[in-house]
Structure formats: structure tokens, C-alpha cells
């Protein structure tokens, strides 16, 4: 497996020219976070993950996490030491409030570091990712006492956090969970039940694990309306802040998985464990969605991160592997490196342009999160929050779907050697496959986009966003002949997306099944247009800068507009096809079991 080279220069370009970092750094509280400072931090963080975290990625995949007979879990060799170094450096604490020991930097900076950490070692990076989600939930809904007791240790990374939703009978339908929370006289709750798919539910990298657990109190309403959220620590915390006796929670088993072998995915048992209510009773889903929305952007970024790592490896292989005679512009080349074969070039350009576009999408959305919290104008905060709501399902779904596709292309470039585990190309493909499933399957993301986000303000929110995309046309028109095809393709697909969006808004009210049946192709259509827009913005921003950078950005934007964006129009037919044919065949016909006479 090749070394990892952190894409610091590209991250900084996107921060400055796509996410609008100069404006964000000017918000109150970010006076210490100017771009030059961030550039130094990203460079140092990149060196750290490349030198400390990336080298243990392959070992983690081969060795995996192990549950021991005493119900402890041992992570792969090197994970524990690397995590201790991560805590010492404080990279995970940068985007959190200084009040609790964080760096007080914008969320967009934290996401840039998270991308590099995930590229280096996705299985390892899941521990701080889940902890960050738990921190966000406590920041929003924890009591002052809970924040004081847990957040300093969690922000520092000394304690990790988990999210406990899923049960054997309650996966995507969280409302079906049956874990009980019985109130006690001292104000705590006895938590009893079983949770599955709990990432880092037990491990040896931190002394304490703070579980956030969804459970149902006696007499609570059925479904999601009766769910509450509780802190259930691995060890009880004494009044002086030290760790006390072991709580009634343990790991029953860990899953054997397709990928992310180094990350223990646990079946957890809660046996009258002591839990502490977060916020109000029956408001657990509201609290958990804070965690999930944070995690969904992080999971979308996993798609970018693994695609980047796989691309670097496939590019290196394509440059060194010689095979056949290549047909190149102007002639042929014998015994050519495979990078000179046109179809390999197509795969490499697809990877490069899509990664640049997806990175722009993730950081653009993170920048909107910063605006939604820190912008001094209330109207601007509200509008940014709407954009975050609109883009988050696209980030999660498109980021992970394309992460699957791009790591597959990287494996394809390796040819038969990509199918052999020794090269390490297969690991990236296996590791990223889970990302389209967890934190809400991509079908759920599409349903969220159609069912909740398009209808905001009667459809005005999405209409205003599409109008914002069209505003770039004037700049493209003035940019010269090199941008002409980008402009024409983007306008064409914006028109088609506008038509599909109108159909969704009209149809969703009277025939929600028809709208939901087209939700996944609609999300793809929407996402491809946004990616093309972001690449065009990047090409325009780069034009007056370094000549090589300007050429690279222009070629990527033009390649995407001419060769990948046209697919967006093809999704319009599927998005508006309705539900009839999806439900025309019964289960027997789907299984081809209908009797023939």
C-alpha cells in the first residue's frame, strides 16, 4: 500500500475560494483563526496523520479488533499508541469551544482535518468521529453539570463517545426500539436492553467511554415520540470527577465485517446500567439528530477521503506499471506505462475531478454550518441553516455512493492485482462500502431530501438555492472561450433540474409514493449539478492565480461538465417516472415463481 500524501494545498484552496473562509474567520470569536494560521495547522496535522496514523492502516485491516474472554476489546497493534499521540496533539479538539478545552476554530477547519485523518486510516478515525457527534449532542442539550463533567475529557479525546440507536428489531425504524429506562428515586434511570452495530462500543484506546443511549421510559408514547436519550458511561463518574465503579454495560460480541476491520463494531448489553437523562423526556430523537447530522457530513467526507487515498495509489500504479502499446495523441507508444492508455486516463480524470468536486461540496456545506451558528445577522444564519439542511443528505448520499464508485475505479486501474489483497487496493473498496449504509442509508437520505427539505417555505428554499447556482452564469460568460462548454452544459442541466424539482414539489403533495420512488435518482441529479457548479466556481477562482493551478482547475471543471454532468439529465426520467412499475410485480413475480401453464 502506497504512502498517504495529505492534499493540504487543495484543502486550503477550497477553504479560501469555495467555502469563503475569509468571511468565516471574520465572525466574532474566530479572530485567532485567520487563514495563515489554519494553513500551518493543516500542514502539521497532515504530517501527523501521514507519519503516525497512515502506517497502521494496513495492519488494522489484517489484524482487526478482538473481543477477549473477559469482555474487553483489544484494538490492532499500534492503534492505542497512535490514539494517545492524537490526544496529545489535540487535533480532534480544534473545532470545539475553548470553554471546554477546544481550539475554538470553525467547523470547516475540523472537517478538513477529519478528511485527512480518515484518508490515513478510516477504521481508526471512526473513534474521534463518533466522539465528536456525542460532544455536539451534549453541547446542544446537556445540562451545565453534564457539560462540566463530561465535555472537557471528551473534547480532549481522553474519553470517547458512542451513539446507541440500533437494536436487532429496530434498524432504520428507530421508533421500534424496546430498550427500557426505568426511573430511580435518585433521579437516575436503570437502562436495560441490547444495542447492535455500536462503533467503538468497547475498546482499549481510552479509559472511559460515554455512551449516548436511546431508550423508552415506562408509559412513554409508542414510536419515536416516546424515545428519550441518556448518558450511560462505561464507568460511573464520582463527584470529584474521577472514575468510579464499572457500570452495567458490556460488549457481548463484535461483528466480523467486510471492511473497517480495525474498528470494533459491538453488540452491547445494558443490564440495569445507570443512565442520566439528557434534556427532556421523550425528546431523544431531537437530540440524536444533532449527532446524526454531524455524523452524516462526516460520513460523506469518508467517501472523499477513501477516494483520495485510493486515487493516490492508483495514480502511482498507473505511472509505474507498463503494459502494451498505448494509442496517444499523434501516434503510439510501445511498452507504455498504463497511464498513457486513454481509458486509464479517463478513469484517473474521473477520480481527480470527482474528488475535487466532492471535497468542495463537503467544505462548502461545513462553511454554511459555521454561518448558521456564528454569522452576526439572524437572517443570514437562518438562510445558511436552510442550505445545510438541503445539502446534508446530498453530502452523505452522493459522497458515499461516489466513494464506492471511485474506489472501484482505483481498483480497476490495478487490473488483476487490484483484486489481490497484497496490493491494498481492495481495502479502500471494502472499507468505504459501509458508508452508504450507516448514519441513515442513502435511500433514507433521498427520502429526507424529498420529504422534508424540498418543502421548506413552500419550496422557496430550494428555488432560491437553484437561483443562486444560476448567478454564476454571468461570470462564466465573461471568462472566455475556455469556459464556454462549462457554461452551456451547466445551464442545460440547471434547466432540467429545475423542471424535475418543480415536478417533485407538485407531486409530493398529492402522490408522495411517486415522489419517493424517484427520490434517489433526483438526489443524484441534484448532486451532479451542484458538483459541476462548485468545480466551475473553483476554475473561475483559479484563473488569475498560478498558471498550472488555473489550467488544472479549468480542465477538471470542463471534463466534469462535458463527460460526467450530462448523466444528470438522464436521471430526470427516473426521478419523475412514478411508482407504478416499482410496485407492479408482487413478491412472487419478483422471485420469478409464478406458475406457468
User: How far is residue 86's CA from residue 259's CA, in Å, rounded to a whole number?
Assistant: 23
The alpha-carbon radius of gyration of the chain (Å, integer) is: 24
pLDDT single digits (tens) 203-226: 999 999 999 999 999 999 999 999
Judge whether 479 lies within some domain. Answer: yes
491 in a structural domain: yes
Task: Give 470-515 pLDDT, tens digit per residue.
Answer: 999 999 999 999 999 999 999 999 999 999 999 999 999 999 999 9
Residue 513 CA, distance from chain mean position: 27
Whether residue 471 is contained in a domain is answered as: yes
Q: Determine the pLDDT at residue 566.
A: 98
CB-based contacts of 44: which residues, under 8 Å, 6+ apart? none
297 to 17, 265, 270, 302: CA distances (angstroms): 20, 20, 29, 9
Q: How far apart are CA 43 and CA 6, in angstroms?
A: 8
Task: Report how far residue 513's alpha carbon sits from residue 214's, in angstroms, rounded to the nearest whole number.
Answer: 30
Percent of the chain with pLDDT over 70: 99
Residue 458 lies in a domain: yes
Question: What is the reported pLDDT for 170?
Answer: 81
Average pLDDT over residues 294-311: 96
Active site residue 31: no
| Residue predicted with more confidence, 425 or 331 | 425
Q: What integer is the mean pLDDT of 57-85?
A: 98
Dihedral angle computed from the Cα positions of residues 480, 485, 488 and 493, in that order, rounded to the nearest 10 degrees:
-140
For 163-177, what is each residue's pLDDT tens digit? Answer: 999 999 887 778 889
Asked whether residue 3 carries a pLDDT value surpassing 80, the answer given is: yes
pLDDT of residue 594: 55
Residue-level pLDDT at 595 = 55
The percentage of the chain sitting over the pLDDT mark of 90, rounded to a whole number, equals: 93
User: Is 570 inside any structural domain?
Assistant: yes
Q: Has residue 529 been placed in a domain?
A: yes
| pLDDT 10s digits, 337-391 | 999 999 999 999 999 999 999 999 999 999 999 999 999 999 999 999 999 999 9
Tell me the mean pLDDT in the region 71-77: 98
Q: What's the mean pLDDT in 436-445?
A: 95
**Lookup: cell for 272:** 440495569
CA dist., res. 575 & res. 521, Å (int): 5
pLDDT at 576 over 70: yes
Residue 435: inside a domain: no
Which residue is catalytic, options 222, 439, 551, 562? 439
Please check whether residue 172 is in contact with residue 196, taking contact to mean a CB–CB distance below 8 angstroms. no
3-class DSSP assignment, residue 532? helix
| Maximum Cα interatomic distance, the chain, rounded to a whole number of Å | 84
| Number of separate domains in the chain | 1
Phi, psi of 513 (to 5 degrees): -65, -40
Q: Under 8 Å CB-to-CB from 177, ≥6 apart: which residues? A: 165, 167, 169, 170, 193, 214, 215, 216, 227
Bridging pattern class, strands 159-164 and 208-215? parallel
Report the helix count and the strand count for the chain, using DSSP H and E: 21, 13
| Selected residue with higher pLDDT from 122 and 295 | 122
Q: In the predicted model, what is the mean pLDDT of residues 8-21?
A: 98
Three-class SS state of 277: strand
- Split at pLDDT 50, 70, 90, the class of 293 is confident
Looking at the domain assignment, is residue 99 inside a domain? no
Q: pLDDT confidence of 2, banded at 50, 70, 90?
A: low
**For residue 281, with 0-12 CB atoms within 10 Å meaning exposed, 13-18 middle and 19 or more buried, which class applies?**
middle
The answer to whether 158 touches 206, Cβ cutoff 8 Å, is: yes
Average pLDDT over residues 414-422: 96
For residue 570, the tally of other CB atoms under 10 A from its CB is: 14
Q: Which domain holds residue 504?
A: 450-581
pLDDT tier at 588, thresholds 50, 70, 90? confident
pTM of the model: 0.97
Phi and psi at residue 204, to the nearest 5°: -115, 15
CA 344 to chain centre: 28
Amino acid at each position: 500500500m502506497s504512502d498517504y500524501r495529505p492534499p493540504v494545498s487543495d484543502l486550503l484552496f477550497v477553504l479560501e475560494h469555495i467555502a469563503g473562509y475569509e468571511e468565516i474567520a471574520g465572525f466574532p470569536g474566530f479572530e485567532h483563526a485567520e487563514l495563515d494560521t489554519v494553513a500551518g495547522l493543516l500542514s502539521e496535522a497532515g504530517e501527523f496523520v501521514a507519519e503516525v496514523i497512515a502506517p497502521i492502516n494496513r495492519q488494522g485491516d489484517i489484524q482487526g479488533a478482538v473481543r477477549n474472554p473477559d469482555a474487553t476489546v483489544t484494538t490492532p497493534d499500534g492503534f492505542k499508541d497512535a490514539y494517545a499521540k492524537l490526544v496529545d496533539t489535540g487535533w480532534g479538539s480544534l473545532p470545539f469551544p475553548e470553554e471546554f478545552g477546544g481550539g475554538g476554530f470553525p467547523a470547516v477547519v475540523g472537517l478538513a482535518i477529519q478528511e485527512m485523518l480518515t484518508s490515513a486510516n478510516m477504521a481508526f478515525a471512526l473513534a474521534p468521529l463518533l466522539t465528536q457527534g456525542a460532544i455536539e449532542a451534549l453541547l446542544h442539550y446537556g445540562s451545565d453539570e453534564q457539560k462540566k463533567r463530561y465535555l472537557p475529557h471528551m473534547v480532549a479525546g481522553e474519553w470517547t463517545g458512542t451513539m446507541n440507536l440500533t437494536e436487532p428489531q429496530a434498524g432504520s425504524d428507530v421508533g421500534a426500539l424496546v430498550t427500557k429506562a426505568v426511573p430511580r428515586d435518585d433521579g437516575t434511570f436503570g437502562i436495560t436492553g441490547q444495542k447492535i452495530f455500536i462503533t467503538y462500543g468497547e475498546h482499549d484506546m481510552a479509559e472511559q467511554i460515554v455512551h449516548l443511549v436511546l431508550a423508552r421510559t415506562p408509559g412513554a408514547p409508542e414510536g419515536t415520540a416516546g424515545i428519550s436519550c441518556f448518558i450511560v458511561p462505561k464507568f460511573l463518574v464520582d463527584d470529584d470527577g474521577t472514575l468510579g465503579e464499572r457500570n452495567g454495560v458490556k460488549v457481548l460480541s463484535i461483528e466480523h465485517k467486510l471492511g473497517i476491520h480495525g474498528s470494533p463494531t459491538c453488540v452491547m448489553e445494558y443490564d440495569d446500567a445507570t443512565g442520566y437523562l439528557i434534556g427532556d423526556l421523550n425528546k431523544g430523537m431531537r437530540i440524536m439528530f444533532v449527532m446524526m447530522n454531524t455524523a452524516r457530513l462526516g460520513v460523506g467526507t469518508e467517501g472523499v477521503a477513501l477516494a483520495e487515498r485510493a486515487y493516490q495509489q492508483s495514480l502511482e500504479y498507473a505511472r509505474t506499471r507498463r503494459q502494451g502499446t498505448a494509442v496517444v495523441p499523434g501516434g503510439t507508444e510501445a511498452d507504455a506505462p498504463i497511464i498513457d492508455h486513454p481509458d486509464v486516463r479517463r478513469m484517473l480524470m474521473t477520480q481527480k475531478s470527482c474528488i475535487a468536486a466532492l471535497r468542495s461540496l463537503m467544505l462548502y456545506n461545513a462553511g454554511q454550518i459555521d454561518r448558521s451558528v456564528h454569522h452576526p445577522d439572524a437572517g443570514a444564519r437562518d438562510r445558511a441553516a436552510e442550505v445545510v439542511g438541503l445539502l446534508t443528505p446530498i453530502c452523505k448520499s452522493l459522497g458515499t455512493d461516489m466513494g464506492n464508485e471511485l474506489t472501484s475505479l482505483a481498483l480497476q486501474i490495478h487490473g488483476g492485482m487490484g483484486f489481490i489483497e497484497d496490493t491494498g487496493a481492495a481495502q479502500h473498496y471494502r472499507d468505504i462500502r459501509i458508508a452508504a449504509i450507516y448514519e441513515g442509508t442513502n435511500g433514507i437520505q433521498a427520502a429526507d431530501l424529498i420529504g422534508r427539505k424540498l418543502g421548506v417555505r413552500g419550496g422557496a428554499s430550494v428555488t432560491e438555492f437553484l437561483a443562486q447556482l444560476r448567478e454564476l452564469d454571468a461570470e462564466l460568460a465573461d471568462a472566455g472561450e475556455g469556459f464556454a462548454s462549462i457554461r452551456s452544459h451547466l445551464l442545460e442541466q440547471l434547466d432540467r433540474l429545475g423542471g424535475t424539482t418543480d415536478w417533485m414539489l407538485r407531486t409530493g403533495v398529492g402522490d408522495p409514493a411517486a415522489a419517493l420512488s424517484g427520490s434517489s435518482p433526483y438526489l443524484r441529479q441534484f448532486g451532479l449539478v451542484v458538483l459541476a457548479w462548485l468545480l466551475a466556481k473553483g476554475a473561475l477562482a483559479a484563473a488569475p492565480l498560478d498558471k498550472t493551478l488555473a489550467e488544472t482547475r479549468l480542465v477538471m471543471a470542463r471534463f466534469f461538465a462535458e463527460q460526467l454532468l450530462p448523466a444528470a439529465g438522464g436521471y430526470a426520467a427516473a426521478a419523475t417516472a412514478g411508482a407504478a412499475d416499482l410496485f407492479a410485480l408482487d413478491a412472487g413475480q419478483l422471485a420469478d415463481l409464478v406458475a406457468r401453464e
